[in-house]
Amino acid sequence: MQRFACELRKLRAEAGGITYRVLADRAGYSITTLSQAAAGEQLPTLPVVLAYARACGGDPLEWAARWTEAVEEVAAASDPATDDTGTESPYKGLARFETGDHGRFFGRDKLTADLLELLRHRRFVAVFGPSGSGKSSLLRAGLVPSLQHTREPGLRPAAIRILTPGERPARTHAHVFDPSDTESGAGDAGADTFVIVDQFEEIFTLCQDPTERARFLSLLLAACRPENRLRVLIVVRADFYGRCAEDRDLTDALRDAHLLVGPMSREELREAIVKPATMAGLTVERTLTTRLIEEVVDAPGGLPLLSHVLLETWRRRRGKTLTVTGFEAAGGLAGAIAKTADDVHSHFTQDQARTARRLLLRLVTPGDGTPDTRRPTRHTELYDIGGEETDQVLDALTRARLLTLDDGTVDLAHETLLTAWPRLRGWIQQDRERLRLHRKLTEAARAWEELGRDSGALYRGTRLTAAEKRFDAHRADLTELEHTFLTTSIAARRQEEDAATRTTRRLHRLRAGLSALAVLALLAGVIAWRQSESEDQERLRTEARRVAALAESLRATDPVTAVRLSIAAWNLVDLPETRSALMSAAVQKEQDAFTDPATEPEAVRYLSRDGRTLISVTARRVTTWDIGAHRRSASFPGLGTHLAHVGVLSPDTRALTLLGEDGAVQMWDVRAGRVAGGSLPADDGGEISPSGRILVLYRTAGPRATVQLRDMKTRQVLLERHMEDRLPDIGSDKLYDVSDFFEQQLFKQRRMTSYPLPDAQVSADDRLMALCLPGARLEVWNIARGRKLPTPWAPVTTARNCADEDFQFAADSRRLVLRSPAGIRTWDIASGRELPRIRHDGLKGLAFSPDGRFIAATDADEILLWRTDAPAAPVFRYSLSDEVVSELRLDMGERRIRYFADRSQTVVRSLSLDGVVDSRWQNRPGVSAAFSPDAGALAFARRDTGTGGADIQLRETHGGRSAVDLPPAPCPSPADAPRPPVPCPVHMAFRQDGRVLAYDISHPTTSVPPEKVHLWDVGARRITGSLTVTRYDSTIPGAQGPAVNGIVFHPDGRTLLVSRIPKDEFIEYWNIRRGKKTREIAAGGETLSVKPGGGILATNHGQFLDLRNGRLTRRTLTTGTTTTVAYSPDARYLAAGDESGGVTVWDGDAHLPLAVLPPPPTRESQPRYVSALAFSPDGRTLAAAGMDGTLRLWDVYSSRQLGSALPTTGTAVLAVAFGSDNRTLYTSSAHVPLQLYDIAPEHTAAQACKRAGTGLTRTQWHTYIHGAPYRQTC
């Protein structure tokens, strides 16, 4: 630590001994922080070190490496685990908590109590949860100690047995289900024995024998009879919900007998982070605790990542404190596991590394439509393939807590390792198909051994051929038993072939047997052909999946090839994976990537204003490229020695500025290939206006700085502005404050002879100039009149504003835009009025659409697009993967965003805005929408901002009759009371036959008389009646009751169900013909869904009302707040969306959760809860829409997302519905009332072909696709 501090002090001395005050101004940190960094008392954080280094002229990469080295030295000096003091870490890392860890297991008290409550009433209980949610630790360190210490007679166990199924669950564990096997005195007389089956999903992943699996399930279910004095608890990974539903008896046993393990709350996470450290006499920096909570609270499967990074941070602690510095040195939350694993791997020899790969892949069961899982393996099996290196490799991985070794069984410490370690993930992906064959080979070899090496159990036919082909070059990966099994199978085949040959010869001598032989041969041929055909189909499916995965990996880097591969994969076989790839191809944001063929390192490249043309400038030639067509459009003479002075390109691409060393600017005629005209004085460079008609020149040397505007053709001076105060020169020991993003562009415009520097921006119509002078209020000048306009509203500018060109005119020349650290500010120049802001931190590089309706920008992680009339949230977002974006272009004619994607500016990427930029956009947003049951009609409501009421329009979704405006519904408010501070909600519902629409608008909280629900006859186009549903408080005479929060028709069509807000929650039955309330039940919800044919009403409050007898049951449908629910048309499924954007799919009776569909990526400042759900008529596809404009499709059977999210206009989706043909999806969003998507695979393929232009050529097909003949795909 002292050495590192000394190096920092030396760096400051080499920079001229600048004062800490100057250093603080440059670095952006306080004097105290920077002086402490060099004091040597504590190690500074990485951001402080990098800021210190930059301010002193140091190399950030070099100082990042030095800081990491210093952290490791401090960790080695302070880590008791490395100096043999025997201090035990308070954190478990990837290892699960055991029963003995109860004292340091925190954050799951409520979940443990819920599980105990469930066990009080049920003898068979299941715990479901996603990987990484802490299920195993909950059982061992939470439940088991609670059972052992309880005094409650019904829960006091005679014994507790914990097992994992393994490959032979029934054969291995049958004795566990014998109550007489309970040890004497282990518990109270007559008490139950608790059998806990952890990792229950192994009966699907490791047990390949259906008979064995069925027998184990029978043992489980039979054990739960009271006379057996056994209770069973199974623990299942959430993505195996659906597999549990395959067994009817298991499904029945799980009804109302399961617990869903959700993510920890913030307070629970705080306990899990802080309390173990406190018990060990340690402290956790408050900033570290806050940072960990923020990163983990919404991270799926984040608990093992948290536990591991805490362990690694503990190893790097400073004294008794866990610090942010140690956390960052460990690699952070996402990188800690990978860093630990790679550190271990880097110390292996070449032979050990090969052994490690073999051993680790042995511990994996590759998923087939489900995520990969662990495969616990006997040590002897690993030693069989690893040889002498096995013990050293296993010891290193175990010491790093990446593996566990228990009773001769080796296992991955946690399944998170499969996804969090890129090296292992890459190995699995590379060998996935071979691993699947290998697991089947292992199973077959063991069965052969158990049958006494019966020859009838050997591989034959295509199975043997496939295994022989796959493992011919990988015999070292086989155990001795597997090798013997494969060798014996091959030998037996050879013997059978020899025997068949001899038999054939004998039969040829026997004429009488020829006919019989022919018949037998024919039959054998048919059987072999059928078997071969089946194997061929399986190989084709495997190849199709591989090609689909390859397409996904190429989407960002080679979008066109990715589209063509996606089409080819679907053409090979129609599978959920290939259909998903095809959907992604049709809607992917990545449109194209074009690389400049010029290889000269000194080449300078430009994009035209619309981004359609790349101009590549070298000493030998200037070449223009049509980016969309990937062809050269023109070639002109190069710049020769002038290339070193090249500046900016004119908007018409006909001229370049040359910044001379003599303090002058010249113009280069691109087409003529020569200097045009004389030199113009401008010692600090120049730039060209957006119109291309004005040249802006800067002179900053001498007593006065000057900004001069000249006509590009006549060279006449149009405007000249002199600055009286001379701008200071850049000294050799000073730094200028220019961000990395703008530095490259700035050096094309300016020679940087002075800093701070002025900057001028000219409007698109050449009428105005905005002048940025550091430290002064922004000036706006009328160019023609040479007069400065009064701008008291303009902000004071900084040197950074001027250097980064933060001020720009909008495309319409009527507005002035400022890019600030917190977003984008806009002023109307004529009035000085500030328009609504775009709030987003860290924006760079603005681009405007010609009509001024759109602004594109980029931050460190994304490219974003806003509508200027709806700036609250971006309508388009594209995630960047470590790309440096420059020269952002917005082409609304082709609906494309284009940009340079690297620092060398050799690659131009194009992003599609199809579906995002919609001409049907309406400025006044809708607040509610409803589709008729057959999706043939849409009711769309907009709020009247003047009256607070609503305008409702009814239209047909497939054309036909024109839309009709329904009578407006006023917003009710009490007499002599002001309008409510929040908008009045609108409720709409179609009758099941679609012929009647009910609608109302209610007060936000109170039932204001007369509260009416209107009934509209869709066919007759008129109101046929209304219901007065005013409610009064039952406890206070004359007081008004709660307002309506939802309506739906009863299945009988004669009754309307009206829900009241939860303050006094009721569902009221209203007879439509009589206009009377006939019944009410204490339930309700904002979303009401009637089960088709079932007479059950589900609400988003988790209530299920039997409409026949009024019986009410309750159930927690999601891990958070449920926002909407929907039944499938066949009533087999119920989907529930929540506030995080995730969806849980249940069986139709809501007894068993079948799948948890994860939420979309987090988008700051945007609500992302699920706003609408809809199943296709055939029940195979689920559409889920969100308030952030997200629209996703899911394959219900496989729980797989179908492609990327569909393109939308980026605003709240109010309703979704499928057409009766299963191929048309309708959506209604806040600003586009009706949008249609044809999602039929054939149409999707046609769309993808249109995007790619053509399918794979024959050469490309044979390059990417193996084992399938070429076919035309487009």
Task: Indicate which CATH number applies to the domain containing 162.
Answer: 3.40.50.300
What is the average pLDDT across 491-498? 82
Residue 985 · residue 928 · CB < 8 Å:
yes
Give residue 1155's identity as a one-letter amino acid code: A
Give the chain's mean pLDDT.
84
Tell me which of 152-161, 300-309, 860-869 is least confident. Answer: 300-309
Q: How high is the pLDDT of residue 325? A: 83
165 and 243 share one domain:
yes
- pLDDT category, 533, cuts 50, 70, 90? low
Cα separation, 288 vs 278, in Å, equals 15
Give the model confidence (pLDDT) of 1059-1108 as tens digits.
998 777 899 999 999 999 999 999 999 999 999 987 899 999 999 999 98
Residue 451 · residue 457 · CB < 8 Å:
yes
- pLDDT category, 525, cuts 50, 70, 90? low
Position with higher pLDDT, 39 vs 799: 799
Q: How high is the pLDDT of residue 379? A: 78
Percent of the chain with pLDDT strictly greater than 90? 38
- pLDDT category, 273, cuts 50, 70, 90? very high
- pLDDT category, 713, cuts 50, 70, 90? very high
Position with higher pLDDT, 1270 vs 340: 1270
What is the average pLDDT across 1162-1187? 86
- pLDDT category, 735, cuts 50, 70, 90? very low
Indicate if the pLDDT at residue 368 is higher than 70: no
Q: Which helix (H) or strand (E) holds 51?
A: helix 46-55
Cα separation, 103 vs 1140, in Å, equals 32
Indicate if the pLDDT at residue 185 is higher than 50: no
- pLDDT category, 79, cuts 50, 70, 90? very low
Position with higher pLDDT, 747 vs 1146: 1146
Cα separation, 1104 vs 485, in Å, equals 57
332 and 467 share one domain:
yes
Cα separation, 921 vs 923, in Å, equals 7
Q: How high is the pLDDT of residue 46? A: 76
35 and 162 share one domain:
no
Cα separation, 259 vs 110, in Å, equals 12
1037 and 985 share one domain:
yes
For residue 245, what are the contacts with CB-CB under 8 A and spacing of at least 6? 251, 1147, 1152, 1154
The most confident of the ranges 6-15, 454-463, 887-896 is: 887-896
Largest CA distance in the chain: 119
Q: How high is the pLDDT of residue 524? A: 64
89: in domain = no
53 and 175 share one domain:
no
Q: Which helix (H) or strand (E) holds 70?
A: helix 60-78
Q: How high is the pLDDT of residue 737? A: 46
Q: Is the dihedral of CA 524, 529, 534, 536 positive or negative?
A: positive
Cα separation, 339 vs 312, in Å, equals 10
Question: At which of 463, 485, 507 does a domain end?
Answer: 485
Q: How high is the pLDDT of residue 742? A: 45
Angle value at C-alpha 745, between 740 and 750, nearest 5 degrees: 110
Q: How high is the pLDDT of residue 510? A: 60
Give residue 398's identity as a one-letter amino acid code: T
Q: How high is the pLDDT of residue 728? A: 44
Indicate if the pLDDT at residue 661 is higher than 80: no
288 and 221 share one domain:
no
Neighbours of 1116 (CB within 10 A): 14
Nearest to 803, CA basis, from 764, 855, 760, 766? 760
Give the model confidence (pLDDT) of 1018-1071 as tens digits.
999 999 999 999 998 877 777 888 899 999 999 999 999 999 987 778 999 999
- pLDDT category, 880, cuts 50, 70, 90? confident
Cα separation, 603 vs 643, in Å, equals 8
What is the average pLDDT across 1234-1263? 92
Question: At which of 239, 263, 287 does a domain end?
Answer: 263
SS3 state of residue 232: strand
1116: in domain = no
Residue 1112 · residue 1099 · CB < 8 Å:
no
Can you spell out the DSSP letters for 438-481? Answer: HHHHHHHHHHHHHTTS-GGGS--HHHHHHHHHHHTT-GGGS-HH
Position with higher pLDDT, 336 vs 144: 144
DSSP 8-state secondary structure symbol assigned to residue 777? B
Domain, as residue range, for 321: 270-485
- Sheet with 1012-1017, strands from edge to edge, namely 986-990, 996-1001, 1012-1017, 1022-1028
- Sheet with 403-406, strands from edge to edge, namely 377-378, 409-412, 403-406
SS3 state of residue 113: helix
Tell me which of 75-84, 384-393, 431-440 is least confident. Answer: 75-84
What the block records as the tokens of 1229 is: 């969003």
Position with higher pLDDT, 319 vs 1002: 1002
Q: How high is the pLDDT of residue 1164? A: 58
pTM: 0.61
Q: How high is the pLDDT of residue 1165? A: 53
234 and 335 share one domain:
no
475: in domain = yes
Structural domains of the chain, count: 4
DSSP 8-state secondary structure symbol assigned to residue 141? I
Q: How high is the pLDDT of residue 18? A: 76
Q: How high is the pLDDT of residue 741? A: 44
645: in domain = no
What is the average pLDDT across 339-345? 81
857: in domain = no
Q: How high is the pLDDT of residue 755? A: 52
Indicate if the pLDDT at residue 726 is higher than 50: no
466 and 340 share one domain:
yes
User: In angstroms, how far is CA 993 from the centroid of its own chain?
Assistant: 39
Q: How high is the pLDDT of residue 981? A: 66
Percent of the chain with pLDDT strictly greater than 70? 89
Position with higher pLDDT, 816 vs 1036: 816
469: in domain = yes
Q: How high is the pLDDT of residue 443? A: 84
Q: How high is the pLDDT of residue 632? A: 94
Alpha carbons within 13 angstroms on the beta-carbon side of residue 633 total 14
Task: Look at strands 193-197 and 159-163 and give their pairing.
Answer: parallel
Q: How high is the pLDDT of residue 724? A: 64
125 and 22 share one domain:
no
380 and 275 share one domain:
yes
Residue 577 · residue 613 · CB < 8 Å:
no
Cα separation, 1004 vs 794, in Å, equals 41
56: in domain = yes
Residue 10's CATH number: 1.10.260.40
361 and 237 share one domain:
no
Indicate if the pLDDT at residue 639 is higher than 90: yes
Question: At which of 263, 281, 304 does a domain end?
Answer: 263
H helix runs in 347-407, sequence order: 350-362, 379-386, 390-399
Nearest to 212, CA basis, from 202, 197, 223, 226? 202
Cα separation, 1078 vs 1058, in Å, equals 12
Q: How high is the pLDDT of residue 72? A: 66
Q: How high is the pLDDT of residue 730? A: 41
Q: How high is the pLDDT of residue 807? A: 92
Indicate if the pLDDT at residue 188 is higher than 90: no
Residue 875 · residue 1209 · CB < 8 Å:
yes
943 and 1069 share one domain:
yes
According to DSSP, the residues that pair with 1225 across neighbouring strands are 1218, 1237
Nearest to 282, CA basis, from 318, 328, 325? 318
Segment 463-468 long-range contacts (CB within 8 Å, at least 24 positions apart): 463/535, 464/489, 464/490, 464/493, 466/437, 466/535, 466/539, 467/437, 467/441
DSSP 8-state secondary structure symbol assigned to residue 983? P
Residue 1025's CATH number: 2.130.10.10
Indicate if the pLDDT at residue 752 is higher than 60: no
Tell me which of 48-52, 725-729, 777-781, 902-906 is least confident. Answer: 725-729
Q: How high is the pLDDT of residue 961? A: 66
What the block records as the tokens of 951 is: 């305008």
670: in domain = no
* Torsional class of 248: left (φ above 0), alpha (ψ -120 to 50), beta (otherwise): alpha
